[in-house]
Amino acid sequence: MIPVLYKADATNFSTYGIGTLADTISCVVSEERNGAYECVMKYPITGAFYGEIRKERLIKAKPNDTSANQVFRIYRITKPLNGIVTIYAQHLSYDLTAIATPAWTSTPVTPQLAIEHVFNAALTPHNFTFRTDYTEAKEFSVDKPKSLRAVLGGSEGSLVSLWGGEFEWDNYQVIHHQGRGKSTGVVIEYGKNLTSLEQDSDITSVYTDLLPYDVISDMDGNETVVTLTEQILPIAETTLVSRRTLIKDFTDSYGMYEEITEENLRSKAEKYIENNPLGVESPTLTISF
């Protein structure tokens, strides 16, 4: 299919959005099991919609012959090389890495009910839903503020570490399977990049909010998580349209005789925002030779 471009805050992908990117030179989607899911597109600067391609905007593309069309958020656009830019976009599900949820503990619970609760408790609005074919109840907890993606997998006590399984990312739907797909013997080979000097930036480390927390440990090894009453602090200066929350543990920032309190946590968090350009893209220079 021809890729389709949408605005950053679009949620309806049944339309043609900003427009179809008919001038696209190449569009390659790669997905790893429970891992990276990305789209890399090459587009000419003479293309009809070149001026509309911006970071944060969304691209709908066909990932393979059997899956439904999927949406990818642009996070990096290279400088033109021979009149062509390379556009890097992550699957829409990567938005889950910047949606925060507070600590929570439950009695034994099925994964469906556990993740539904965590998704509903998120501190910023989102459109993601979850379903699974696992039914076994287990004790489940979110021991400290985390991103929704970290609750699903990649951290101790996550859904995958407790129940196992494989994820299918279908736009705003998160589907948790006991087993997904089969081995077909297909090998993906990556070609060499041209030798170049490339200056660009991406938005993977740009945020609109900060969720700070501390962890107090007693002599028995019990832990208490301290958060702010308002949970998250806004970052005043940001270039983003959609909200992204940075979750940061400030426990190690205290001195030996400094007490962990909400007031001290707020002070450290505000100073961290002041000293770090969390809402601004940082340019990078890449030299290949």
The 10s digit of each residue's pLDDT in 208-254 is 999 999 999 888 888 899 999 999 999 988 888 889 999 999 998 88
Sign of CA dihedral 223, 224, 226, 232: positive
The per-residue pLDDT for 236 is 86
The 10s digit of each residue's pLDDT in 133-178 is 999 999 999 999 999 999 999 878 899 989 999 999 999 999 999 8
**CA atoms of 248 and 23, how far apart (whole Å):** 42
Q: C-alpha angle with apex 223: 221 to 224, nearest 5 degrees?
A: 155
| Max intra-chain CA distance, the chain | 66
Q: And the tokens for 178? A: 């006991």
What are the sequence ranges of the domains in the chain?
A: 4-92, 99-177, 209-284
The per-residue pLDDT for 195 is 47
Confidence of residue 256 (pLDDT cuts 50, 70, 90): confident
The per-residue pLDDT for 279 is 83
Distance of alpha carbon 218 from the chain centroid: 33
Confidence of residue 188 (pLDDT cuts 50, 70, 90): very low
Specify whether the CB–CB gap between 119 and 129 falls below 8 A: yes
Long-range contacts at 26-30 (CB < 8 A, ≥ 24 apart):
27/3, 27/61, 29/61, 29/62, 29/63, 29/64, 29/70, 29/72, 30/188
Bridge pairing between strands 233-234 and 209-217: antiparallel
Contacts of 80 (CB under 8 A, 6+ apart): 45
In this predicted structure, the answer to whether residue 197 has a pLDDT above a threshold of 70 is no
Confidence of residue 187 (pLDDT cuts 50, 70, 90): low
The 10s digit of each residue's pLDDT in 202-215 is 788 899 999 999 99
The per-residue pLDDT for 193 is 43
